[in-house]
């Protein structure tokens, strides 16, 4: 049985680093030298956040144990066993042995076909019904195509479609940038940080979960020190009123602009060009600019619902200080305390992209989404065993809870110094 621990970072690391200048990470009670590997890490710079710390839980969440077979530990470290983490790891091993991590190519081919069928429906409505108000059914289909492309982007960037990192990286670019219109590399880098350090902050290094902070609202007091301007103050005071309108009417445009400002590879630039080429081709069938703008706006506003779907899974939940992770709070406990599951019938899982089972996804991100419903009862059982609240509610209730939480934050928010 693997040793899963929350290591107290002691002088063992400090001494070793000072003597040899090595960058060490703790996994399963051993220190591993990752000095030459950091810049090649497929998951991006998030690995740097675990230098000198235990990374056992997050390592096993994202990697197969075989990843360490080619690496030798440089030394052992005294570790205190954490029974809860061991049980969550054992559950992950059970999922692995029971085939929960296996990829169903046929399922993904069907999902991709259905997604592009929406795009075809959008083109058909525009071309065949351009003189009728029914052409705006094509805008609804376009919004559905963007939404489902976003979920496929999510799967590809998690390496869940083919399990081949190179192939899934290209699929991520296709579904994210060409189809959805968002820089896939930018989103992936932020999303990996979000998974590894969900809803965490660290004032010493000015760190916060990049997917849990926006400029014009704040959902937790621990985020307050990252807001400085009067404009932010006034926006936060009305955030419970603006949250839904901003997500719907500004969400798509905002995320596209943010992602385009962080293009680092020519691949994304070419993919963005392809995105706007097919969008313009679609809109060019409409007779004038007014109808083109109206068509795009309807699609963009409907797709804005996706931003609400993703944010309500976290916004009314706990935040944690990075320094307490491992000493006071295990990584698994942090995930349980930071997530809400959305209750809906099985035939509505497609609408949420399976991410209505958000907790099992955060605990076991190597699991494809069509296994979440079957895996969730096991997660509930473990939460019950350790007295952790498995939080779940309906979609409308989750929105209501988020708005109430934002209102509470707005009433007490102040621009206090750190």
Two tokens, residue 189: 């880098």
Bridge-based pairing state of the strands 320-321 and 200-202: parallel
User: Is 5 within 8 Å of 56 (Cβ atoms)?
Assistant: yes
Coil vs helix vs strand at 81: strand
For the beta carbon of residue 239, count every other beta carbon within 10 angstroms: 21
Coil vs helix vs strand at 54: strand
Give the Cα separation of 363 and 267 in Å (integer).
31
Coil vs helix vs strand at 3: coil
Residue ranges in 28-82 assigned as alpha helix (H):
56-62
Which of the four pLDDT bands, split at 50, 70 and 90, describes residue 132? confident
Map tokens 């969008």 to a residue.
279
Q: Tell me: the pLDDT tens digits for 266-304?
A: 999 999 999 999 999 999 999 999 999 999 999 999 999
CA atoms within 13 A on the CB side of 199: 27
The pLDDT assigned to 20 comes to: 52
Two tokens, residue 417: 């110094």
User: Worst-scoring range by mean pLDDT, 40-49, 85-94, 159-168, 301-310?
Assistant: 40-49
Residue range 380-398: mean pLDDT, rounded: 96
Q: Residue ranges per domain, the chain? A: 11-81, 104-418
Q: Tell me: the pLDDT tens digits for 1-57?
A: 333 333 333 333 333 343 356 788 778 777 887 877 777 777 667 777 788 777 778
What backbone phi and psi angles, to 5 degrees, belong to 242? -95, -15
Q: Tell me: the pLDDT tens digits for 233-260?
A: 999 999 999 999 999 999 999 999 999 8
Percent of the chain with pLDDT strictly greater than 90: 73
Give the Cα separation of 364 and 145 in Å (integer).
27
Residue range 177-192: mean pLDDT, rounded: 94
- Overall residue count recorded for the chain in this entry: 418
Give the Cα separation of 85 and 304 in Å (integer).
37
Residue range 56-81: mean pLDDT, rounded: 72
The pLDDT assigned to 416 comes to: 62
The pLDDT assigned to 21 comes to: 67
- Nearest of 181, 248, 254, 180 to residue 214 by alpha carbon: 254
Give the Cα separation of 112 and 101 in Å (integer).
19
Bridge partners of 321, per DSSP, are 201
- Taking only Cα atoms into account, the Rg of the chain, rounded to an integer number of angstroms, comes to 22
Domain 11-81 CATH (choose: 3.10.150.10, 3.10.120.10, 3.40.309.10, 1.10.132.20) = 3.10.120.10
Which of the four pLDDT bands, split at 50, 70 and 90, describes residue 81? low
Two tokens, residue 99: 């085939």
Read off the pTM. Answer: 0.89
The pLDDT assigned to 324 comes to: 85
The pLDDT assigned to 16 comes to: 35
Percent of the chain with pLDDT strictly greater than 70: 92
Give the Cα separation of 164 and 152 in Å (integer).
15
DSSP string, 149-198: HHHHHHHHHTT-SSS-HHHHHHHHHIIIIIII-S-HHHHHHHHHHHHHTT
DSSP string, 188-242: HHHHHHHHHTTTEEETTTTEE-TTS--SS--SSGGGGGG---HHHHHHHHTHHHH
């Amino acid at each position: 049985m693997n040793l899963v621990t929350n290591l107290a970072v002691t002088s063992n690391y400090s001494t070793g680093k000072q003597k040899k200048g090595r960058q060490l990470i703790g996994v399963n009670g051993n220190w591993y030298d990752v000095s030459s590997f950091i810049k090649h890490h497929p998951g991006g710079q998030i690995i740097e956040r675990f230098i000198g710390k235990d990374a056992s839980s997050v390592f096993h969440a994202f990697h197969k144990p075989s990843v360490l077979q080619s690496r030798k530990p440089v030394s052992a470290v005294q570790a205190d066993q954490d029974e809860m983490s061991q049980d969550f790891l054992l559950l992950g091993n059970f999922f692995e042995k029971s085939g929960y991590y296996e990829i169903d190519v046929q399922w993904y081919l069907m999902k991709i076909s259905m997604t592009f069928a929406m795009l075809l429906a959008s083109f058909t409505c525009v071309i065949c019904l351009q003189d009728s108000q029914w052409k705006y059914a094509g805008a609804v289909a376009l919004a559905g195509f963007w939404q489902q492309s976003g979920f496929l982007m999510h799967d590809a960037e998690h390496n869940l479609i083919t399990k081949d990192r190179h192939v899934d990286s290209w699929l991520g670019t296709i579904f994210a940038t060409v189809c959805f219109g968002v820089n896939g590399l930018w989103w992936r880098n932020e999303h990996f940080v979000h998974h590894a350090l969900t809803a965490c902050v660290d004032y010493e290094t000015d760190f916060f979960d990049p997917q849990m902070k926006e400029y014009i609202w704040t959902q937790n007091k621990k985020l307050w020190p990252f807001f400085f301007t009067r404009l932010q103050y006034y926006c936060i005071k009305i955030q419970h009123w603006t949250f839904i309108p901003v997500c719907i009417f500004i969400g798509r445009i905002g995320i596209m602009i943010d992602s385009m400002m962080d293009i680092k590879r020519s691949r994304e630039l070419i993919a963005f060009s392809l995105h706007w080429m097919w969008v313009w081709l679609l809109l060019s069938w409409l007779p004038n600019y007014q109808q083109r703008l109206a068509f795009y706006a309807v699609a963009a506003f409907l797709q804005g619902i996706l931003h609400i779907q993703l944010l309500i899974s976290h916004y009314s939940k706990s935040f944690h200080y990075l320094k307490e992770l491992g000493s006071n709070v295990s990584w698994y406990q942090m995930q349980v305390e930071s997530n809400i599951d959305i209750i809906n019938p099985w035939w509505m899982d497609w609408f949420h992209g399976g991410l209505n089972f958000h907790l099992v996804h955060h605990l076991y991100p190597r699991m494809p989404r069509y296994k979440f419903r079957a895996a969730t009862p096991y997660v509930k059982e473990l939460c019950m065993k350790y007295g952790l609240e498995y939080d779940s509610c309906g979609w409308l209730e989750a929105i209501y809870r988020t708005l109430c939480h934002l209102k509470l934050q707005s009433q007490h928010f102040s621009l206090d110094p750190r």
